[in-house]
Structure formats: structure tokens, C-alpha cells
Amino acid sequence: MQNALPEMLDFLKQVERKARYDGVLPVNRLDRLGSSLCSDQGEIHASVSFSTRAGTPCLDGNISAELELECQRCLKPMTLRFESSFHLGLIGSEQDIDLLPQEFEPLLLAEGEQSLIDIIEDETILSLPIVARHDEHCSELVGEQDESEQDSEEETYKPFAGLKDLMTN
């Protein structure tokens, strides 16, 4: 079993140490994420590392999870499996944003310690689809609508199709 991730860290000290953390985060600890889900069961697997790249202190991370969302077609629960990565450039002021290489998203540091859990929760929320839906037909009504749309596309009347024959003569 993996370890729990630390709650609060001084990010700049972690950069100096080139620290790396791997662990799991129970979904039921994340209130903002929980409001988007059908169930607060499950875990987010996260791996984060602090380093310096291109002269910029940075926080790189990978997250993966299986979350239960509500399908917006049928309004029934569905399981979403996803993996995501993020690359944050740690900056001390808003003026430093323009100096940040394009590969990084800016993260404005506060004095002292910051919550690593909040960063992981934010990145998980950003990874969720805007509209969650099953990949396959999830209700009979949706399947019937898709079939009727395909049928109507095949029966489309093309009034100028005969002109093609007239132009070749």
C-alpha cells in the first residue's frame, strides 16, 4: 500500500531537496471534487516531484484515478478512468509569469507552507470532462435518436445532384 501524501509543505525547501512524493489520496477528503462526483469512494494516485528546470523551480506531477460521475445523457452513474500530468512553475510574484517558460503553468507561492493536497485536487478537477457521458449508447432513447439521425442523413434530398450529369454532356 502506498503512503498518504503530506498535507502542507514549503515548496521552495522541497525544490532544494529535490523531493519526490508518491501516494494515494482518498476522494472523500476532497470536498470541492466530491461535489462533482456521484460517489466519494475511491482514491487518487499521485506522484509529485520538485526540481529546477531551465532555472525555474518547478513542481511536476502525475495523477490517476477511477471516479464515479453522472452521465449527462442518461443521468446514471458512470466510471471514468483517467491519467493526467501537470508541470507548474513556482513563482514569487505575478510579474514573474512572463519570465516563465511556456512548458509551465504558473503557481504563485505564498509565504511558508502550502497545501499539496489542494494542488492535486485542483489538477484532478481540471482533468474531469466538461460533459461526462458513456462512450456507448447508455439509454434506448439515445440509441434511437442516433439511428434516426443516420437514417435521415441517408435520405437527404439533393436538388442539384442532376446538374452534375448535365455539365458532363
pLDDT band at 35 (very low <50, low <70, confident <90, very high): confident
- The single residue listed with the C-alpha cell 466538461 is 130
CB atoms within 10 A of CB 46: 23
Domain boundaries, the chain: 8-138
The mean pLDDT value for 110-135 works out to: 89
Pairwise pLDDT comparison (35 vs 16), residue with the higher score: 16
Write down the residue that cell numbers 446514471 correspond to.
76
What is the chain's mean pLDDT, rounded? 85
The model's pLDDT over 63-99, given as tens digits with 9 standing for 90+, comes to: 999 999 988 888 888 888 989 999 999 998 888 888 8
Give pTM, 2 decimals.
Answer: 0.75
Query: Which residue matches cell numbers 471534487?
Result: 33
Q: Is the pLDDT assigned to residue 101 strictly greater than 80?
A: yes
* pLDDT tens readout for residues 149-161: 665 556 677 777 7
Quick one: what percent of the chain has pLDDT higher than 70?
Answer: 86
- pLDDT beyond 50 at 162: yes
Q: In sequence order, which residues have a C-beta less than 8 Å from that of residue 38 and are 6 or more positions away? A: 68, 69, 70, 77
Write the single-letter amino acid at 10: D
**Do residues 132 and 37 touch, judged by C-beta distance below 8 A?**
no
Residue type, 134: H
Query: Residue 144: its pLDDT value, please?
Result: 59
